[in-house]
A and B are shown apart, each in its own frame.
Chain A
Amino acid sequence: MKSANVATNNGELTIALAGNPNAGKTTLFNELTGLRQKVANYPGVTVERKEGNWTVGGKQARLIDLPGLYSVDATSIDEQIARDVLTGRVDGLPRPDAIVAVVDATNLERNLYLVTQLLELRIPTVVALTMIDEFERQKHEIDAKRFSKLLSAPAVAVTASKGRGIEELSAEVAKAVGGMPEIPPALRFEEDATNNSRIFGRYHFISDVVQGSVRHKDLEAHNLSEKVDKVLTHRIFGLLILASVLLVVFQTIFSWANIPMDLLEQGFGAFGDTVRGVMPDGILADLVVDGMIAGVGGVLVFLPQILLLFLFISLLEDSGYMARAAFLLDKLMSRVGLHGKTFLPLVSSFACAIPGIMAARTIENPKDRLVTILIAPFMSCSARLPVYTLMIATFFAGQTVLGFVSLGAVLMLAMYTLGIAAAIIVGFVLKKTVLRTSSAPFVMELPPYRLPNLRNVFQNMFLRAWLFIKRAGTVILSISIVLWALTAFPRTGPTYVHLGNGAVNPATAEVAAANEEFRKSEQIKHSFAGQLGHAIEPMIRPLGFDWKIGVGLIASFAAREVLVSTLSIIYNVGKDADEESDNLLTAIREAKRDDGGKVWTPLTALTLMVFFVFAMQCMSTVAVVRRETNSWIWAGFMVVYMTVVAYVAAFVTYQGGRLLGFE
């Protein structure tokens, strides 16, 4: 018989950490590994693979944190992965030498179900009993020796946050490694035993273990959570409290995050200026400043939003409130075929789709999660605001509907509503077609309320931020460079504004500045982006757009608000014009086509707004979708289908408007 630890690399042990969700697994993992952790994905799937180093009996061990599981019978991707890890079928991971099974003592029976399955795998297993303080406060008593004997696995009571039981756990694991435990007789099933009979058999065994070792005073006497729930999931107060919680979260993300975001933006601007100051003028300086610093900086400004959203998500998850929010809202969401947990990612996406998409990881069902990711960018995010504002300020300012309602406000509301409607419809269609789930199972634990462990909360927050910077950052850097190159090549030689008599006089600062603006505008006209704009003009003409708007559409693939600065450059009014700048508004209103007709009409403006509601004009989102789905296919699918929807909607708006007699 082969001993289990033969398969290890250079004598290093591999230990798997398994447990139910909410059993305190993360706290224990953090305590055992400290900050020596790394996160990757399992090959080909979205399940996150977290591991760290742990010293077991003086030896280095690789501690693999399995996803939170109720069972290792592969019904979900998480369970499939856990099973593969435990049976040594994941590339680069030897079969574990031992398993640490995290068991919440206050929820013993259900937690032990997973342990019975682990015992059936015949891998040395040590039970770490968590939440033991709470257990004792509830006046339960456990005879640990008898418990271990009946379960036929060593058990250690740990309080990870206080470091209690950690050394004992390490000693027990060191002792267990190398053994080949026998399966308890009650868990030896016939080969042809049905699933049901196995499940009944395991619970029967669990009852025997618990009855033989635990003295319950009264299981329900200390059920504090149910009392708290009387308010928090109350049919009226519950909803009001949820609304207030969401309000605080979004107020923070939408408005308070603006302070650090502005600082970051100014910081990157100043950094760019400094770099430009020290570098010799020319292509390299342009690449570094306009391409790399502006591109990456434009994405990193989202960092405060991401940090704050993840702070809230961690707090809400760890306290047990997130499950209640899903409980409260499931009915509403299920009407459109979605899950209660879809709500938070979608609402977060009004601030920014990036944290919203990252928040979708709280949805366990992979298909529901994918649907959520794919529809989240329809929520009108804050980067669309400058585009909406520019169009409204240019063509609809000061107009009212019914005499007193501002037309701008109505249009703004209409754009938000349009996005929500699209999300619901597309979500519904996806659920009925490619991402169909056989049934919509909703079996969700409502964990007891607990104080969040602040160390876990902050560690999670910074981990998410770091992953965002690292993974998305590399992709975004490359796309930024490509987009910059499209507008910067081929190079146009120095051109000068001819003043009146044609004399070139770059002597005065004013003229030099004008020359510089003119040069930039010429540059963009003849660049690849300009050529692309011309190339796509036949395609976008049915939407009422000319090649200049085409360049704007191409450049704003980097980020939607880039449309404003691109139009400013093209219309030669200076890059620093913003969406409220009068020069730009006038330039847009007066822009002429080659045949002398006006480029822009209120209808064109409305069409452009509709296009921006639906189009996937944000490379950061694409990069994050790639990272979260671990697939370029889904990221590409999203770009294509959103662009198609945007085109069709813009086409219908423009041509429909013309049929109705609008210009």
Chain B
Amino acid sequence: MLLSELEIGSQAKVVRVTGDDAVSKRLMEMGVVPGVVVRVVKTAPFGDPIQIRLRGYSLAIRRNEADTIEVIA
């Protein structure tokens, strides 16, 4: 499934980051690599972006970006 489909508060393990562009590279550099556990913390008031937590820190990404992250529960 995709990270964007995860329910708020649930966590999952990253399988891969699709897309081969600056955004996917930046996501991976920020630690979103296969095997890392990611938790969806909340969405912003207008529904986008979302806040995720990984490796002990928080990251805000837009839903477009979350769509490129494949996860497994």
Contact = CB atoms under 8 A, between A and B. Distances in A.
Contact of A327 (B29, B36, B44): B44
A444 B28 contact: no
Q: How large is the interface on B (under 10, 10 to 19, 20 to 34, 35 or more residues)?
A: 20 to 34
A75 B26 contact: yes
A239 interface: yes
B56 A443 contact: no
B44 A226 contact: no
Contacts of A200: 28, 33-34
Interface residues of A, number: 45
B49 A233 contact: no
Contacts of B65: 441-443
Interface in B22-54: 22-23, 25-31, 33-34, 36, 41-42, 44-49, 51, 53
A203 B28 CA distance: 9
Contacts of B25: 73, 75, 195, 199
A114 B29 CA distance: 9
B59 interface: yes
Given A109-B56, A334-B62, A439-B23, A233 B29 contact: no
Contacts of A444: 49, 59-61
Contact of A107 (B36, B44, B45, B55): B55
Contact of A438 (B21, B31, B47, B60): B21
Contacts of B26: 70-71, 75, 441, 443
Contact of B61 (A109, A331, A443): A443
B58 to A, nearest CB: 4
A56 to B, nearest CB: 30
Nearest to B25: A195
Contacts of A219: 56
A120 interface: no
A442 B57 contact: no
Interface of B: 21-23, 25-31, 33-34, 36, 41-42, 44-49, 51, 53, 55-62, 64-65
Which 6 pairs between the two chains have the least Cβ-Cβ distance?
A: A331-B46, A235-B45, A446-B58, A109-B55, A219-B56, A442-B62
Given A235-B45, A439-B23, 18 more contacts: A71-B26, A73-B29, A75-B25, A107-B57, A109-B31, A233-B44, A328-B45, A330-B48, A330-B60, A331-B46, A331-B49, A439-B21, A440-B64, A442-B60, A443-B23, A443-B65, A445-B60, A447-B58
